[in-house]
Structure 1
Amino acid sequence: MKTVMNRIMVLFMVLFLVLSMSACGPSPLNEKVNESGTDKEASAKVNQETDFKPFVVQNYNRQLVIDEVPEAVFAVQTTNIETLIALGLQEKIVGVAPGYDADFLPEYQEIYNSLNILGDNLVGGAGGYPSFEAVVNTKPDFIYGTSFSLGKTGTISPLENIDKMGIATYINKPTDMLNAQMDDVYNEILTLGRIFNVEGRASELVQNMSTKISGVQGKLGIIEEPVSVFVFDSEEEGMIFTAGTSLLSNLIKIAGGKNIFSDVNRNWLFANNEKIIGSKPEIIVIVDYGEAGAEGKITSFKNNPLFAKLPAVVNDQFVVVNLNDVLPGTRNADCVEKLAKGFYPEKFK
């Protein structure tokens, strides 16, 4: 009997302890349930965007140390500015250059208009770049630009001068690379995401671009014989400046074409007329910028007797893209779609 009573007392004590623990707060099981689903995902995203760790990135033949998240950014090229805005970083931009043909995507135009645009006393006159002094006066701790604006002989300033000022300067890598690919553009965006501690946004942007290109390729299907393409960038004293192994060649390839100068080991070059004639391009891609504009360039090409019998001229096959479509940035996926529709319109009906 005593043994039975002892067992009953023990059971009452266990029951009392269990009820006391339940009254004091949630059980470990409940805690796990509360942290699951959307709450857990939100927590992970917050941590991803707040836990910054210093790192070193290889950029323009030098190692750039990123020891903290930049807070005051100067952006040079239109495409550079658009990428920063797409990553939600407009509040960090202390100044921008108007650049050449600084047309903006409609969804970004209002934001761009609200920025500190350095449009006075431009180097090279109207449509040029601000002086180095004007850029420094915006007090940036980070500058994002291109090799032709901030490189060894950059329009704004040679890079070594900026490095001496102690301002972290990141050169848009695909603008300076031979054989730049879309993967290089994706890596550029992901690197910016890491620099500014917005890796989640960068990954989402890359995914959206990749998905659009996959959709285009799905409509194109298998291309047995890519159309031959010549790029008309600009013209100087009768000589046509064209794309070699620049990113544009890869965009053309993804869209089902082949740049006739993609085998030249230079990003951009003056074209050899004999090679243009011998290659018999089926499509002429016009890069729309400058005083001549797209229509002026098309007229010039058509009126050149050397090109009168080319398939592209005979069949009036000209595809127009904007300068900012072909420079590395968020527009490249749209550019692939534009090119593909121009090369194979029947596949997009």
Structure 2
Amino acid sequence: MKKLGFCLVLAMCAASQAARADDIADFYKGKNLTIVVGMAPPDQHDTDARMLARSMGKYIPGQPNIIVQNMPGAGSLKAMQYIANVAPKDGLTIGIVQRGVIMMPLLGYPDATFDPTTFNFVGSRAPETSIVVLWRDAKVKSIEDARHTVSLLASTGGGADSNTMPYIYNETLGTQFKVIIGYAGAGEMNMAMERREVDGRAGWSMGALRGTHEDWYRDGRANIILQHALRPNRDIKSVPLVQTLARNPQDKALLDLFAKRLEVGFPVLAPAGVPPARMAALQAAFVKTMSDADYVKEAKSIQAEINPLTGEQMSALIKDMYATPKPVVDRAKAILIAQGAPLK
């Protein structure tokens, strides 16, 4: 009788799961799922969104049509605010944003009226290595040069890495980077480098450089003088890792905090409040997409690394980031405020 009862419970669970899957398929069938991208093309975030759009739909029950909507502004802040406060919470809107925007509430940006720990995270393609890149004919050729000569670096503004990281490096490494804000996205920043309006840019992803400008990397037009991550990138081992240049433990703790957010990589997320069953379906579809043959082939063609984090891993990472000791966070705020960042 006990065995019969156990089998009955298993059968009921299987039937319940099948019914849930049917409900999800019925919901998504014939509908559009929108990926909101916080950057303008040809930024890597836009490329990631379009890669997902071409492959992920087949793994979502009901196989919805996936469309991409660009919403650039303030380093993905505009898109993040939309996802947090405006987007429907029905599972038909997800987003890909710059990793820097995830930390904006922690640092006290007044316009960052959202709590990243409450978002539903779908996953991330891979952690990233942040780099400082200068055009090949810029006066500054190395980190030592950057400590004695001013370099103009393009930025989208807001909490983006292109805006935040130069200030952190100026304080912890003694560099003399000057940030020029107002560029809409990676495309404009890159054109500014080519036109020599600026010397370069900071907070650029190694994967994004190779994915959008492999020729710059191959031909030496992009001179990489710093890398920032939890571990050195195997392709640029000769480029100094910023933590190894820290002058004291306090500086290293600060640099480690920003290295941690690099683990976020290319965050794919949905607003809080999405029905759990639909959220689980999106997370499962993302995991399957990361090993989809067509997706993997396309990623390899643009030098995009695939080393995915699941939605669960992403949520844990964000919560750990927001548990950073207050003295470290307060120092980061003080540095940014001293540099003119509009923090509260």
TM-score by length of 1: 0.27
| Max Rg structure | 1
TM-score by length of 2: 0.27
